[in-house]
């Protein structure tokens, strides 16, 4: 079955009891046992498993071509559980020098205290990653592509080879691309993580996260830790996310088309000094993006030619692009990463330019979006 069909049907057979065509919200904490240990279908307690969450997990595993998915209460809960499953105190990991600020904060402020060390490496240069890996063997390489907020493109196949050569696992944060545009497990990654809050949910109405593994190796450990640490997706959140994912393909097509027009307009705008969008032929990762992505996605960043103050002013001047954190919803958003989503990277190797503006290009009419940006930049 093709992606569009899987998104609507995988894990979502009509309910066996009633025939309901979408999975019901099993808003329940516990399940009657027919005698001690006599569970019906293995359900005993909703932290351990829940039918609505299971439907989402089956769908996400199918869409990423993985063996199994685990749905969490947020992207950060997913990352934390994954890292404390795959790593042990004393282990070393390589992280991107350009990544979501919250991911950096998790490594820098939480997991270092747990005994994990990290090194930030510019991952668009696989040789630099290979040198860092040879210098100090990492347990895993954490990648994000395209990156948040600079839209760097990382060659997943090349990084998977570096990971393999060094006995490390490759984890890829696929939030910006979504499984419709890019399937990292097919390109050699071992694990995919998502903030399903973004394109997978798609409607800015639910926070969630997911881990999808390529094979059975880590399934039992992840299931154990997901239950033991408990940061699971609730039934209603899982249901909202499933409702969103059904339309992922059509939304991503339109996000990509609108973003391409926005990027093109910004490229020739005198108030803009640099545009970051992998679909632009001049983008350093354009050829790799063409090879590993179906299209280039809905995220565009740019630098304000007149500097930080102008960047901040533009963020406050748009009418359609709403000033706010997050991304991937049907409505367009604008933000200033240095003061908002990436404030935690200040003074670190992941610090972002102060004149940077990030756009999440939504599904509104492209002409209206271009006019809004032109007016804000005028």
Ligand X SMILES: Cc1ncc(COP(=O)(O)O)c(C=O)c1O
Q: How many residues does the chain have?
A: 378
- Taking the complex as a whole, the smallest distance from the CB of residue 141 to ligand X amounts, in Å, to 16
- Can 198 be counted among the known catalytic residues? yes
Q: Is 43 tagged catalytic?
A: no
Which candidate in 15, 47, 125, 317 is catalytic?
Answer: 47
296 binds ligand X (CB under 6 A): no
**Among residues 123, 139, 182, 197, the one that binds ligand X under rule CB under 6 A:** 197
Q: Does 146 bind ligand X (CB under 6 A)?
A: no
In the complex, what is the shortest distance from the CB of residue 31 to ligand X, in angstroms, rounded to a whole number? 28
Which of 198, 251, 294, 303 is the catalytic position? 198
Q: How many binding residues for ligand X (CB under 6 A)?
A: 14
Catalytic residue among 173, 190, 237, 372: 173
- Do residues 165 and 136 touch, judged by C-beta distance below 8 A? no
Please answer whether residues 6 and 63 qualify as being in contact, where contact means their C-beta atoms are separated by less than 8 angstroms.
yes
195 is a contact residue toward ligand X (CB under 6 A): yes
DSSP labels, 299-311: EEEEEETT-HHHH
- CA-to-CA distance for 150 and 357, rounded, in angstroms? 10
Q: Which of 248, 249, 371, 261 is nearest to 319 (CA)?
A: 371
In the bound complex, what is the minimum distance in angstroms from residue 259's beta carbon to ligand X?
16
* Alpha carbon distance 254, 362 (integer Å): 8
Q: How many CA atoms lie within 13 A of 370 on its CB side?
A: 16
Residue 322, classed as helix, strand or coil, is strand
CB of 101 to ligand X, least distance (A): 8
Using the minimum distance from each CB to ligand X, give the nearer residue, 102 or 126. Answer: 102
CA atoms within 13 A on the CB side of 266: 30
Considering beta carbons, is residue 43 or 80 the nearer one to ligand X? 80
Q: Is 173 in the site for ligand X (CB under 6 A)?
A: yes
Does 144 engage in binding with ligand X (CB under 6 A)?
Answer: yes
78-117 positions binding ligand X, by CB under 6 A: 100, 102-103
- Cα 312 versus chain centre, distance: 25
Asked if 179 interacts with ligand X (CB under 6 A), we say no
Binding-site member from 175, 204, 292, 318 for ligand X (CB under 6 A): 175
Distances (CA, A) of 91 to 168, 222, 224: 11, 18, 21
* Residue 123 in contact with ligand X, rule: CB under 6 A: no
Q: Is 47 a catalytic residue?
A: yes
Q: 69 forms bridges with which residues in the sheet?
A: 212
Q: How far is the CB of 341 from ligand X (least distance, A)?
A: 6
Q: In the sheet where 299-304 sits, what is the strand order?
A: 272-276, 299-304, 356-360, 333-335, 322-323
* Least gap, CB of 363 to ligand X (angstroms): 19
Q: Which is nearer to ligand X, 243 or 269 (CB)?
A: 243
| Cβ atoms within 10 Å of 326's Cβ, excluding its own | 15
CA-to-CA distance for 43 and 157, rounded, in angstroms? 39
Q: Cβ-closest residue to ligand X?
A: 75
Q: For residues 191 and 67, what is the distance between their CA atoms, to the nearest angstrom?
A: 10
Active site residue 173: yes
Query: Of these, 11, 51, 66, 75, which contacts ligand X (CB under 6 A)?
Result: 75
The answer to whether residue 145 forms part of the interface with ligand X (CB under 6 A) is: no
Residues designated as active site = 47, 100, 173, 198
Task: Give the binding site for ligand X (CB under 6 A).
Answer: 74-76, 100, 102-103, 144, 148, 173, 175, 195, 197, 207, 209
């Amino acid at each position: 079955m093709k992606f569009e069909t899987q998104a609507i049907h995988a894990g979502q057979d009509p309910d066996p009891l009633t025939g309901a065509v979408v999975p019901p919200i099993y808003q329940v904490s516990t399940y009657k046992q027919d005698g001690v240990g006599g569970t019906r279908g293995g359900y005993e307690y909703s932290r351990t498993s829940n039918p609505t969450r299971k439907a989402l997990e089956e769908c996400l595993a199918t869409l990423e071509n993985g063996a199994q998915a685990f749905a969490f209460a947020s992207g950060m809960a997913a990352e934390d559980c994954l890292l404390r499953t795959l790593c042990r105190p004393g282990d070393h990991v390589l992280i991107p020098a350009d990544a979501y600020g919250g991911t950096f904060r998790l490594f820098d402020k939480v997991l270092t205290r747990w005994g994990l060390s990290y090194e930030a490496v510019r991952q668009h240069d696989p040789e630099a990653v290979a040198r860092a890996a040879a210098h100090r063997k990492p347990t895993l390489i954490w990648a994000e592509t395209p990156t948040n907020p600079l839209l760097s493109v990382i060659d997943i196949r090349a990084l998977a080879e570096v990971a393999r050569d060094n006995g490390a696992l490759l984890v890829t944060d696929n939030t910006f691309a979504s499984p419709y545009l890019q399937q990292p497990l097919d390109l050699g990654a071992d694990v995919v993580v998502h903030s399903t809050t973004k394109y997978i949910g798609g409607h800015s109405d639910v926070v969630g996260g997911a881990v999808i593994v390529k094979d059975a190796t880590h399934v039992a450990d992840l299931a154990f830790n997901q239950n033991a640490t408990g940061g699971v997706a609730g039934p209603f959140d899982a249901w909202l996310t499933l409702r969103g994912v059904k339309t992922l393909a059509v939304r991503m097509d339109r996000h990509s088309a609108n973003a391409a027009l926005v990027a093109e307009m910004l490229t020739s705008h005198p108030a803009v000094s640099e545009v970051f969008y992998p679909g632009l032929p001049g983008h350093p990762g354009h050829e790799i993006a063409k090879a590993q992505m179906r299209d280039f996605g809905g995220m565009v960043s740019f630098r304000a030619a007149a500097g930080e103050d102008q960047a901040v002013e533009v963020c406050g001047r748009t009418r359609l692009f709403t000033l706010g954190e997050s991304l991937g919803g049907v409505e367009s958003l604008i933000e200033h990463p240095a003061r908002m989503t990436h404030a935690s990277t200040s003074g670190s190797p992941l610090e972002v330019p102060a004149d940077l503006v990030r756009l999440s290009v939504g599904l509104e009419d492209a002409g209206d979006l271009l006019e809004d940006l032109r007016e804000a930049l005028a």
